[in-house]
Structure formats: structure tokens, C-alpha cells
Structure 1
Amino acid sequence: MSVIKEPKPFHREFELERLMFFSDAVFAIAITLLIIGIKLPALPGKMPANGYWDFFEPTAIEFLTFVVSFVFIGNFWVRHLQLCRFLQNYNEGLIHRHLFFLFFIVTFPFSTSALLHTSSHFMLPFFIYLCNLAGCLAALFWISYYVFQKNPDLAIAGHHTEKELLYQRFKYGFLTMATGFTCIAMTYFLYPENTAYQRISYMLIPALALFNYFRLKIKKRNTLRLVHKMGANN
């Protein structure tokens, strides 16, 4: 009967680094693929001076879409980095949750290119893009819950305040996107011809994000104030 031996601490640390390096590589490849499809159009031999914008407008829209997705991916990388600095160990469950998160990072180039085909009569690409964002936020929240709440031994000891604030940030980020996406989808389902309601529904996600931003600010301030108060009493 064979017994699988637990890897030594050095090997565990090396394997955890491999998990982080693999994640960084996925982020880098996803960002690179965003820009590959954007190319300047071939200029015709003669063009009036006032016709350049009409000619370059599609490329400008593609580049703007690239910038938006670049900001989103960069933000997810920063959040992932903030989470991983608390890790000291891993298990199979953490690996699976990381792969789930990286799946949505990899699909960003696809959803970004699909977003360019959105129109008032064809909103499916827009919903695909929102699903991509919601998937990333859901995966980050899932990882943070698994590490900080369900398996705290995977994280370094101490830093309880920082861990809790980071967990709350991931939770509120996911709830913001999930609520906003659901309301937008329901608006299109219930009022398919009412463009006014549809445009108003777009504002729900940034409004909820702003509300939760200040909510977390207040929570962080109150938590730090409580920590300082307890430290002074001790």
C-alpha cells in the first residue's frame, strides 16, 4: 500500500509561486491579445482633410474599447495581487478556484471584440461583456471566501483587519455587478422597446459601485478606529 507523502515546506512554497507565475502569465497574455486585433486602416491615395475622422473612427472606437478592458484587467490583477500576498499555502480547492477566475480573464479578448458589434438592435455582445465582468468578480469573491472564511490556515497569521476589509471589498464588488447586471437584463426583458428605461438602467452599476465605495470607506474608518481604541485600552 503506497502512501502519498506531503510535500516539504520548500516544495509547497515553490508550488505556490508556480500558481502565482501561471496567473501572471495569463493576465499578460490576455492583455496582449486585446491589442493584437487593432490595426490602422490603409489610407487611400487621396482623401479630403475633413474625411480623416470618419476613416479612423472605427479604429478609435476599437482602441477605446481596448483601453476600457485594459483598465478592467489591470484592476483585477491588482486585486488578485492583494489577495495573494496573504497566501502561505494552497490546496486543490484553491487551484480550482484560481482556474475558474483565470477562465474569465482569458475570455476578455473575446468579449471585448464582441462588444464592438453591439447595437441598439443587438445587445447580446454587451451582455456577454457584463457576464465576463461578473464572472471575474464572482471568482475573486469565491477565492477570498474560500481562503479567509472557510480555510483560514491557507493565509498567513494575523492581519485580521486587512483580511476582513479585502473580503468585504470583493463581496460588495460582486454584489454590485450581480445586482446591476440582473436589473439591466430585467429591464430589457420587461421593456424591450423603452429605450429611456434601458438607458437609465445603465446608471445602476456605477451608482451602486459609488454607494459601496463610500460604504466600504466608512466601514474601514470605523474598523480602524475600533482597532486603535482597543490598542490604546490594552
Structure 2
Amino acid sequence: MTTRAKGDRPSGPEHSLERLIFFSDAVFAIAITLLIIEVHVPDLPPGSPHHAYLEALWHLIPNFFGFIVSFFVIGAFWAAHHRMFGLAAHYSERLVGANLMVLCLIVFMPFATAFMSANTGTLVPSVLYAATLLLTGLFNRRLMFIVTSAPVVAADVSPEMIAYVRARSGTVIFGALCALLIAFIDPRFSQMGLLTIPIWQRLFLRRVDRQVARKARAAAA
């Protein structure tokens, strides 16, 4: 239960949980904004012909591509963060370290994106980007399990809901693994591995659907 300090200011465990969520949202917002800041505006001399501007924009296509991919990747991590904390009702000290590790990697992502975009098709930048996503996915899954376990998770959250949320948290991990493996084969196509994320999500959710259906049949028997 939330207590009140002097001046009717909120305090206590629930207030700590709110502060953690608000801080996380701010970090996600800053990180996703930094992505476009890393796409530098072309510096052309005054009076340059039209084709020079078009050529400069053409050279920025890898940067725009990296921006779009990372924008939706960070957006997906924010959505997962929003989804998992929607199930939380209580604060735990364990949340702080696990949440900070996720945020640390989210903040690092604009650099990994810019490094890869500036060196398209090369091994080390592609591996760094995929490895960053993989680590973010692993730490995000760890945070997910803390949030969806006692004492943090709300008492009225069903085991089926917890199973669905946890299943979704593994999809980015497998997508990043695909991207990492492709990077070692041909770095030019590394990011194509991220396109497998919806496929993994469908497979994992179908697996949970089957588990839920089996439990329902067993309960009805």
C-alpha cells in the first residue's frame, strides 16, 4: 500500500515502481530520438546543382535504412517493456539492476546503428549490431521473468497471460541469432535475419496456444 510523506507526496513501493517506469520511458524516448541525430545532414556548398543533393541523399540510404530498422527494434523493446510492466503491481529491488542493463543496451543501440550504417556490408559492424540486439533480448527476457514472477506480478494475472508475454520475449533473441549467423556468412544480408522475428513469434505463440489447450482439455476431463 502506498504511503504518504509530508506534504502529501507519494512514497513507498508502488511509487518506486512508477518512478522506474517513468524513467525507463524517458530513456527509450531519448534513445529512439538519437537514432536520427546520427544521420548527419549533407554539407554541400551553396549553389550546388540538384543532382548533387540527390546524390548526397542516395549515399545516406544505408543510414536511413539503419534508422528505420533500429527505430522499430527499439519501439518493439519499448512495447515489450510496456506490456510486461502492465502486469506488475509491486516493486522489488531486483527490478533496478535488471532494468538498467536493458536500458544501457538500448542507449548503446544508436551507436551500433550508426557504426553499421557507416560501414555497410562489413563483418565487425554487422556482428556488433546483431550482438547488441542479442544481448538486449537476453537481458530483456531476464527482466521479463522478474516482472512476471512473485512478488512483482499482480495477483490477478493469469498463468496463460504470463506464458504469452514470456513467449513473445524470446522472439527477438532468435531473430538476432539469425542476424548474427548471417553476418558471419555474408555481412551484407545480416539484417535480413531480423525479418524472421515475426516467424519466431508465431511459432512461440502457437506453442503456448497448444499448451493452454491441453491444460483446458485436462481440466475439463
Structure 2 length normalisation: TM-score?
Answer: 0.80
The answer to whether the 8 Å contact 2:89/2:153 transfers is yes
The answer to whether the 8 Å contact 1:165/1:220 transfers is yes
Matched letter for residue 219 of structure 1: R
CA–CA distance in 2 between the matches of 1:38 and 1:201? 21
The answer to whether the 8 Å contact 1:161/1:223 transfers is no
> In the TM superposition, what are the counterparts of 1:18-97 in structure 2 within 5 Å?
18-44=19-45, 45-47=47-49, 50-97=51-98
How far residue 165 of structure 1 moved from its aligned partner, in angstroms, is 1.5
Alignment of 1:222 with 2:221, yes or no, is no
1:212 to 200, 217, 220: 200
Structure with greater Cα Rg: 1
Q: Which residue of 1 aligns with 2:8?
A: none
> CA-to-partner distance for each residue in 1:130-159, whole Å, 9 max, x for gaps?
1211121011111122333xx422101132
The answer to whether the 8 Å contact 2:31/2:110 transfers is yes
Unaligned runs of 5+ in 2: 5-10
How far residue 200 of structure 1 moved from its aligned partner, in angstroms, is 9.7
Q: Structure 2 vs 1, CA of residues 112 and 202 (structure 1 numbering), >3 Å: closer, same or farther?
A: closer
> In the TM superposition, what are the counterparts of 1:138-153 in structure 2 within 5 Å?
138-148=138-148, 151-153=149-151
How far residue 25 of structure 1 moved from its aligned partner, in angstroms, is 0.5
Matched letter for residue 154 of structure 1: V
The percentage of aligned residue pairs carrying the same residue is 25
How far residue 199 of structure 1 moved from its aligned partner, in angstroms, is 6.2
The answer to whether the 8 Å contact 1:172/1:212 transfers is yes
Q: Structure 2 vs 1, CA of residues 46 and 178 (structure 1 numbering), >3 Å: closer, same or farther?
A: closer
The answer to whether the 8 Å contact 1:144/1:170 transfers is yes
Q: Structure 2 vs 1, CA of residues 160 and 33 (structure 1 numbering), >3 Å: closer, same or farther?
A: same
Q: Structure 2 vs 1, CA of residues 168 and 65 (structure 1 numbering), >3 Å: closer, same or farther?
A: same
How far residue 227 of structure 1 moved from its aligned partner, in angstroms, is 6.0
CA–CA distance in 2 between the matches of 1:99 and 1:203? 26
Q: Which residue of 2 aligns with 1:125?
A: 125
The answer to whether the 8 Å contact 2:144/2:166 transfers is yes
CA–CA distance in 2 between the matches of 1:11 and 1:173? 34
Unaligned runs of 5+ in 1: 1-5, 189-196
Structure 1 length normalisation: TM-score?
Answer: 0.76
CA–CA distance in 2 between the matches of 1:179 and 1:107? 21
Q: Structure 2 vs 1, CA of residues 42 and 178 (structure 1 numbering), >3 Å: closer, same or farther?
A: closer
Q: Which residue of 2 aligns with 1:193?
A: none
The answer to whether the 8 Å contact 1:86/1:155 transfers is yes
Alignment of 1:116 with 2:114, yes or no, is no
Q: Which residue of 2 aligns with 1:165?
A: 164
> In the TM superposition, what are the counterparts of 1:180-219 in structure 2 within 5 Å?
181=180, 183-184=181-182, 188=184, 197-198=185-186, 202=190, 205-206=193-194, 209=197, 211-219=199-207
What is the number of equivalent residue pairs in this alignment? 213
How far residue 68 of structure 1 moved from its aligned partner, in angstroms, is 1.3
Q: Structure 2 vs 1, CA of residues 221 and 178 (structure 1 numbering), >3 Å: closer, same or farther?
A: same
